[in-house]
Structure 1
Amino acid sequence: MSMKEVCCPYFDPEFENLNERIYGPSCRVYVDNDSCEKCTVVKVDSLNKQGLLLEVVQVLTDMDLFISKSYISFDAGWLMDVFHVKDQQGNKVTDNGVINYLQQSIVTRRELKSSGDPKACTEDAVEVEPESTSECTAIEMIGTNRPGIFSEISAVLAEQKCNIIEAHAWSHNACVACVAYVSDESTSTCIHDPSRLATIEDHLSTVLRPTTITDDEFKGAKTRFLGCDSSTSHKEHRLHQLMLANRDFDESPGSARASFSSMGSNGDEDGRRTTVSIDPFNEKGYSCVNVECPDRPKLMFDIVCTLTDLQYVIFHASITSHGLFAYQEYYIRHKDGFILNSEQEKQRVAKCLEAAIERRVCEGVRLELCAKTSVGLLPYVTRILREYGLTVTRADIATDGGKTKNVFYVQDISGNEVDMDILESMQKELEPLAFQVKNEVLRRTTSMEKESFSFGSLLKSQLEWFSHNYIRD
């Protein structure tokens, strides 16, 4: 017998399945409509992987489910999530088809993340794009924000004979980020020619640069071609990452950061704004992140997404709503196991979370235009908006079944309130496009649960987190 044979350790082939043999399947999803009178309770028990919580929240968000309350606990390698959710009408989720899709989506994402599939194990969450983008070239853009920049981006792509199939753009502080899917105008297929791609990138980079460049205000301009692979990162996740990379959390000169202490003129809750505080929880070796802000859809996704991208692991969390306000509490450590020690690190994390919460909120007017898909529609519409003194602060463009739906959030370029008479005149010019104008007010569920909840007390009292009966209203 050789020395190698003597010294090599023996591993039971069933070792990798040991956890599953002890705990059962590595991911179990329960949907309960009986335990809570007002909400559907979704409970996920799973072996934990970094980023898995984000994947679960992403599934709920993509299905347009509103998370009114949640409890998260991760211990001994096992993750337990409890979510109280409602649909967009504020009702329980009762459709069996929707429930089955929800369960299968969460389990599938868990299996992909555990499988070692390179598409599932990148830092970016992977999502299969709609069929409309399968023959498109994906472009990511980050740059310096200014009035009319989305119109300029649309014009450049039109000049380069690109048909915009889908696009999503956010702006916040002095930054703008955009993810667009384009095809060749003449062939309706991917753009492969390296020379042409280089030309498109050069023109877009020029547009994305600030008009006046100084060392202090230049935040960089970048375009990135992702090719024609139909599997690209989750669009909203990528927008968060692009804005974070472009440091939109840095305050622009003269701006005032919102805080929880700022009150409305009548001094009630409606005047409250966003605040983030980070405190040590030395007894258990965590940093406690407290977020208080107006409640809205996708709030939990935005926060979990940012903490994950900043390389923090969420061990415990509680999310609840009081009326129109949300209280979220996260117990975290850095991926290397350390808590947030320095004030500089705490301030940076707080600023990043505030930016993540604020960048999705669009004050202004929401415009919806629906028309038969045609080349040049988007550049035409954005040019009209610009000519009427309006700037796009956020855009969501999608093509489905031969029709294109354009959703724009617009503000007056000069900073004044949007003149409705101007919108009426613009509507006449854009006829016969289906055109709707809405003064955007974020939809909030009217009957939120009002009980408070603190994980600090749970952790201190060592309550049992892994009871399958832990579902309560």
Structure 2
Amino acid sequence: MEDFKEGSTNQRRSRSGEIASADSGKNIDKVVIDNAVCATTTLVKVDSERKDGILLEVVQVLTELDLSIQKAYISSDGRWFMGVFHVTDRRGCKIADEAVILHIEKSLGAADETVGSSRGVDDATVLELSGTDRPGLLSDVFAVLADLHCLVVKTKVWTHNGRVAALVSVEEEGSGDRIEDLNKVRLIETRLRNVVRGATASVSFSSSSFRGTDTDRHLHRMMSAIRDYERLAVVSTASDSSVSIQNWEERAYSIVNVHCSDRPKLLFDTVCALTDMNYVIFHGTINTIGERAYQEFFIRHADGGTISSEAEKQRVIHCLQSAIERRAPAGLRLELISADPHRRLLLEATRTFRENGLSVTMAEVSGKDDTEANVFYVTDASGSPADPKTIGAIIDRIGAGNLRVSEDRVERTGPMQSGSLGVESSAAGAGLFYLGGLVKRNLYNLGLIRSCS
């Protein structure tokens, strides 16, 4: 391993040479973190031998650090992967925290066994629950677990298109041990299958723990498995996302364009969706302008082919739209902020939501000993905004010191950069005007050629 080169705070930092990770076998040859080139973003440049999943691996590391990817240029034709990512922190500023910079370097380059292994819930049983959503479902799940003397450690719940996917980490009440009694496991499964109605309901146990974006990727897969990309008649199909696909026969690529509202973790979700559908991203350009995000990917199927039928095209479009929409919460954000090691307040809050006719559209329950708030997004039973009087009555019942209304905490203090992409080219024909030069533009932006003309 070559020495780590370090200059002043705003100068280029790089880690070069072959660097292997002991836990994943990855081999990223060069990572450069640069605060000098761009006035408003930190550049993270990655050069590596091309391998399956390398783009998702890089995006996952940046996403887990709560960084926003404002721009990116990706090229991986041939045997080499090259990517440039313009990132900011959650306030929209360049990365100034030395610990974050070191974590990026270690996660992408160094063989440090502590990276990625310090997260999660040790020795907990993780319950996977998916099926048809309905008002009061989360309250009923928690009530069943409490009745069976299972203590909820962590929970993450997504809903979309009338479906629900949840990961619930539980332990034996009192002892804190994993649930290993097979008779109790069967009883939990039976009781919860009665709670989650519908032919798609499924319950399974896993010994894996909550691990950052690993949890999110698993929720994506759970949602796809219950086909949430198929619209239910009772669910509105309104969406501000636009996905278009066209084939570039000359270069044997399918070109995917995504236009939608920008939000945290958006790139992770779209790359995750394409990867899990067995498509390989060879080139890509990512840009954000104001509150809008624009993503363009040049893809092939893992077998080397392009998207070959209208049915396949529509499936990819619907799956990408679903991946975008799943994490975009609907409703009012409520935070349960009191320490609650025995989960009594959690049970009372979710029961009160149910009794007042509220639906939980997304939820994240932090560790029972954590100081972070437990977050719930709620609507009325029809999916419309909840009545303020109802919310007020719920807060009075739970206690204003325990439950509060909170806006999404997406802070932006730094300036947003406008990009230079042809962002209005969502139509299939218009896109081809500039698509032929994307490879050259990527190489130019990566600093590998002097001109993209």
TM-score range, shorter chain: 0.7 to 0.9
| Equivalence for 1:456 | 435
Kindly provide the CA deviation profile for residues 394-435 of structure 1, in whole angstroms up to 9, marking residues without a partner as x.
000112645463100011124442122222221121126432
CA shift for structure 1 position 108: 5.1
Query: Does residue 1:250 correspond to 2:230, yes or no?
Result: yes
CA contact (8 A) 1:127 1:233 kept: no
Query: Separation in 2 of the partners of 1:443 and 1:204?
Result: 39
Query: Does residue 1:41 correspond to 2:30, yes or no?
Result: no
Q: Which amino acid aligns with 2:395?
A: Q
SS of 1:138 mapped into structure 2? strand
SS of 1:318 mapped into structure 2? strand
User: Who wins on radius of gyration, i.e. which is larger?
Assistant: 1
Q: Structure 1 stretches of 5 or more lacking a match?
A: 1-18, 113-125, 211-217, 260-272
Aligned 1:396-435 pairs, distance under 5 A:
396-399=364-367, 401=369, 403=371, 405-431=373-399, 433-435=401-403
Deviates more, 1:301-310 or 1:154-163: 154-163
Aligned 1:373-384 pairs, distance under 5 A:
373-377=340-344, 378-384=346-352
| Equivalence for 1:204 | 192
CA contact (8 A) 1:68 1:86 kept: yes
Question: Of 294, 299, 305, which residue of structure 1 is paired with 2:261?
Answer: 294
| Equivalence for 1:16 | none
Query: Does residue 1:227 correspond to 2:216, yes or no?
Result: no
Query: Separation in 1 of the partners of 2:126 and 2:396?
Result: 34
CA shift for structure 1 position 372: 2.0
Query: Does residue 1:135 correspond to 2:120, yes or no?
Result: no
CA shift for structure 1 position 127: 5.4
SS of 1:371 mapped into structure 2? coil
SS of 1:163 mapped into structure 2? strand
Aligned 1:434-449 pairs, distance under 5 A:
434-440=402-408, 447-449=415-417
| Equivalence for 1:12 | none
Q: Which amino acid aligns with 1:43?
A: K
| Equivalence for 2:277 | 310
Q: Which amino acid aligns with 1:316?
A: H
CA shift for structure 1 position 258: 3.4
SS of 2:63 mapped into structure 1? helix
CA contact (8 A) 1:324 1:444 kept: no
Q: Structure 2 vs 1, CA of residues 256 and 401 (structure 1 numbering), >3 Å: closer, same or farther?
A: closer
Deviates more, 1:292-301 or 1:365-374: 365-374
CA contact (8 A) 2:28 2:109 kept: no
Query: Separation in 2 of the partners of 1:402 and 1:86?
Result: 26
Q: Structure 2 vs 1, CA of residues 344 and 327 (structure 1 numbering), >3 Å: closer, same or farther?
A: same
| Equivalence for 1:166 | 154
Q: How many residues align?
A: 415
Query: Separation in 2 of the partners of 1:283 and 1:61?
Result: 34
Q: Structure 2 vs 1, CA of residues 440 and 101 (structure 1 numbering), >3 Å: closer, same or farther?
A: closer
Q: Structure 2 vs 1, CA of residues 436 and 276 (structure 1 numbering), >3 Å: closer, same or farther?
A: same
Kindly provide the CA deviation profile for residues 93-133 of structure 1, in whole angstroms up to 9, marking residues without a partner as x.
02222101111112259x99xxxxxxxxxxxxx954635x1
Query: Separation in 1 of the partners of 2:98 and 2:409?
Result: 31
Let me know the Cα RMSD of the aligned residues.
2.8
Q: Structure 2 stretches of 5 or more lacking a match?
A: 1-16, 20-26, 423-433
CA contact (8 A) 2:148 2:188 kept: yes
Query: Separation in 1 of the partners of 2:320 and 2:78?
Result: 27
| Equivalence for 2:327 | 360
Query: Separation in 2 of the partners of 1:471 and 1:221?
Result: 56
Question: Of 160, 180, 184, which residue of structure 1 is paired with 2:172?
Answer: 184
Q: What's the TM-score once normalised by structure 2's chain length? A: 0.85
CA contact (8 A) 2:153 2:368 kept: no
Question: Of 284, 290, 293, which residue of structure 1 is paired with 2:251?
Answer: 284
Q: Structure 2 vs 1, CA of residues 224 and 233 (structure 1 numbering), >3 Å: closer, same or farther?
A: farther
Q: What's the TM-score once normalised by structure 1's chain length? A: 0.81
| Equivalence for 1:53 | 55
Kindly provide the CA deviation profile for residues 349-394 of structure 1, in whole angstroms up to 9, marking residues without a partner as x.
0000000101111121001112223324322210011122211110
| Equivalence for 1:28 | 30
CA contact (8 A) 2:260 2:293 kept: yes
CA shift for structure 1 position 142: 0.8
Q: Which amino acid aligns with 2:244?
A: S
| Equivalence for 1:81 | 83
